[in-house]
Structure 1
Amino acid sequence: MKWILVISAIIFSVLSQGESIICEHENPERLICENLDITTTIENIEPNKQVNVTIINGTGIAPDAFKNLDVRELIITKVRLYSYEARYIIHQITTADPLTLQADSFNSLHNIISLEVFDTKLIYEANPLIPLKKLQNLAFRNNNFTEVPTDLFSTLNDLQSLRILKNPITGVHTNAFEALKHLKTLELVDNDIQILQPGCFNGLDELTHLNLLKNNIVLQQGSDLAQVLQGMPNLLNLVIAINGNVRLEPGTFDGIPKLEVLDLSGSSISHIPKNVFNRLSLLKSVMFNRCRIGSIEQGAFSGLNLTEMIFDSADFGKTIDSYTFSDLNVTRFGLVSNYQMSEIKPSAFSGLRGDILAIMGSELTKIVAGTFTGMHVKELAVRWSPIVEVEQDAFKDAYVETLYVDDNSTIVLNRYRWGIPESISIKTICYAC
């Protein structure tokens, strides 16, 4: 059961007076604590529960404010409270208001393993997290940080997860997380990060998940990204989605050889050359959704053994060139909602092997001879495209068990005239469904 503490305060003088807070149960699951400007004492909470502290109109937390709590998880949220017809109306803060923490505000929280601080502009002189020796999870959201608060990490030896969200951080400096030797998950999401300095992730030897979603990272040289990714030899999952310009070059990901999941969705990629992914023998999933891709070199993905590769709503021009996806093993391959694409050249999928290839949503009007030559897939879906012609030998030397098309597709009526092999079973799917 989650206990919710609502703390209301008005005047700063309580910090020196040391008055006790008065707590009353509004109902069995809600404890309202009200005092003046500084939260001084929180008590009467059942031990080993998650405590959600909502600070209303307050500006700080006094020393030992949590001395009577024995909890493992603590969430601190700042809101504004207004009175309307004798009822409290709480408005979530979008611009963080100040909240002052003392060096010993969190004293006595010896058993806490998770701390989350939302919607507060944190003000502190000495590190208030020093008492939290067992902390494993730490999250900050909308705290008005302009840089990574490295000074808070110095004693967090057991921290495994760190999330910093929605802060105006424009750059991550070298050795920003070096103290966090046992960190497994790092999320720097929606922070407007533009610059990642080389070595910014140094020391994260145990990191497995790095999420840089929704920033404005500009990496004009592939070597820049390669240098940034140093120091994380055990990284398994990397998200660089919805960012700025990302340039890929041979060897870009060589420093993270254990990578299994790569998400580049929403980024601008000028070119994907060969030998970018060739050292990633464990790679299973690659996402290019909503990417703007200038060009893809022939054989850029050759030799990969993937579970999935998805280009959903990606812009890689009007043409897929020959051998673009050659010698690729992928269980599920999706070219979906790519409405700029109007041509697939012969042997574009030569040597591709997998269970499903979906070409769904394009401007294709013709499937030319040799389009699927050398391809081996169980299921091929060609849907939501204005195809009016399939040339003879489009499926020459291709293995396809089932071809899925729309119920209004011209392929159904013309399969024999267009020379689609009888060995391929054609199944229709409702176009509008």
Structure 2
Amino acid sequence: MGWRSSALRPLPGLLLLLPLSLPRALREAHCPEPCSCPPDGALRCPGPRAGLTRLSLTYLPVKVIPSQAFRGLNEVVKIEISQSDSLEKIEANAFDNLLNLSEILIQNTKNLLYIEPGAFTSLPRLKYLSICNTGIRKLPDVTKIFSSEFNFILEICDNLHITTIPGNAFQGMNNESITLKLYGNGFEEIQSHAFNGTTLISLELKQNAHLEKMHNGAFRGVTGPSIFLCLAMGWNPFRR
């Protein structure tokens, strides 16, 4: 009996270790007001919310950012979504008609596979959109942003499964000048008229190790006083 009671005795050290063994995402997940973040569900951040100007969503447990997820958050100027292993899809009109929004960051979400066409719509004050280190297979649709900000910056980086920059990929994004930072992706081809309809100040294409084909008409329809083109050292897209 003495041996049995000793075997059943609680182990304080083990109890202390249990909370530390929880997955990092569960320990650090934070769902700020006014959002709801049901595990494996859909994010909702309804407005209006007076005084809320920045929304940081890290380690999200949700799978989907649905249409109109941020509806009514008219004072928000920055939305950051990062470090989520659960997020898989961003639906059309997820970022829609947010009139003061100037920055969107979607980073380190490797299981994010789909950003539906029209996910970014009617964002007239958007200055900076960063989509980096995700699992998406296609270049995100940015043609319905309709920003009026000077020197709009689009950063698409470290998305290893995006293979093509299609024609007219950036038309409608901005009616002023733009800077494109498109580095470290899985690009293999840049199609004709890829940059059509843009006033391009700077284009960064470095560290795209698989990029072998740039169509002769890739820059047709581009306007602007000058273009600074930054390529990977030793790589020439115009080689025969």
TM-score between the two structures when normalised by the length of structure 2 = 0.71
What do residues 14-65 of structure 1 show as CA deviations (whole Å, max 9, x unaligned)? xxxxxxxxxxxxxxxxxxxxxxxxxxxxxxxxxxxxxxxxxxxxxxxxxxxx
Q: 2:154 aligns with which of 286, 289, 299?
A: 286
Q: Higher strand fraction: Structure 1 or Structure 2? A: 1
The residue aligned with 1:310 is: 181
CA-to-aligned-CA distance 1:388-431 (integer Å, 9 cap, x gap)? xxxxxxxxxxxxxxxxxxxxxxxxxxxxxxxxxxxxxxxxxxxx
Q: Flag structure 2 segments of 5+ consecutive residues without an equivalent.
A: 1-15
CA contact (8 A) 2:66 2:92 kept: no
CA distance in 1: counterparts of 2:43 and 2:211, whole angstroms: 40
Counterpart of 1:347 in structure 2 is 217
Distance in 1 (alpha carbons) for counterparts of 2:215 and 2:43: 45
Cα root mean square deviation, aligned: 3.6
Is the 2:120–2:141 Cα contact (8 Å) retained in structure 1? no
- Partners of 1:273 and 1:254 in 2: CA distance: 12
- Sort the Cα spacing of 1:307 and 1:367 in 2 relative to 1 into closer, same or farther, 3 A: same
Deviation at 1:367, TM superposition (A): 2.1
Structure of larger gyration radius = 1
CA contact (8 A) 1:312 1:338 kept: yes
Aligned counterpart, 1:238: 104
Superposition deviation, residue 219 in structure 1: 2.3
Higher relative contact order (CA 8 A, sep 6+): 2
1:285 aligned partner, one-letter code: I
State the Cα deviation string for residues 243-281 of structure 1 (Å, max 9, x = none): 2123342x4322423211101112344434877246223
Q: Secondary structure of the residue that 2:166 maps to in structure 1?
A: coil
1:340-376 deviations in whole A, cap 9, x for unaligned?
Answer: 01222212223354341111147548524xxxxxxxx
Query: Equivalent of 1:178, from 47, 70, 76?
Result: 47
2:56 maps to which of 183, 187, 203:
187
Moved more, 276-285 or 359-368: 359-368
Once the two structures are superposed, the pairs formed by residues 91-130 of structure 1 within 5 Å of their partners are: none
Identify the match of residue 211 of structure 1 among 80, 86, 92.
Answer: 80
1:30-429 paired onto structure 2 within 5 Å: 142=27, 148=31, 150=33, 170-174=40-44, 176-178=45-47, 180-215=49-84, 216-219=86-89, 224-226=91-93, 228-230=94-96, 232-243=98-109, 244-249=112-117, 251-272=118-139, 276-277=143-144, 279-282=146-149, 284-291=152-159, 292-302=161-171, 304=174, 305-317=176-188, 319-350=189-220, 351=222, 353=224, 354-361=226-233, 364=236, 367-368=239-240
The structure-2 alpha-carbon separation of the partners of 1:300 and 1:267, relative to structure 1 and needing over 3 Å to count, comes to same
* Percent of paired sites with the same residue: 17
Give CA-to-partner distance per residue, 1:166-200, whole Å, 9 cap, x none: x99544543x4536332000000233432224443
Instruction: Name the CA shift for 1:149/1:265 in 2 (closer, same or farther; >3 Å).
Output: closer
The unaligned stretches of length 5 or more in structure 1 are 1-79, 81-92, 97-118, 120-140, 154-161, 369-433
Q: Distance in 2 between matches of 1:236 and 1:261?
A: 6
Distance 1:266 1:310 in 2: 14
CA distance in 1, matches of 2:203, 2:140: 19
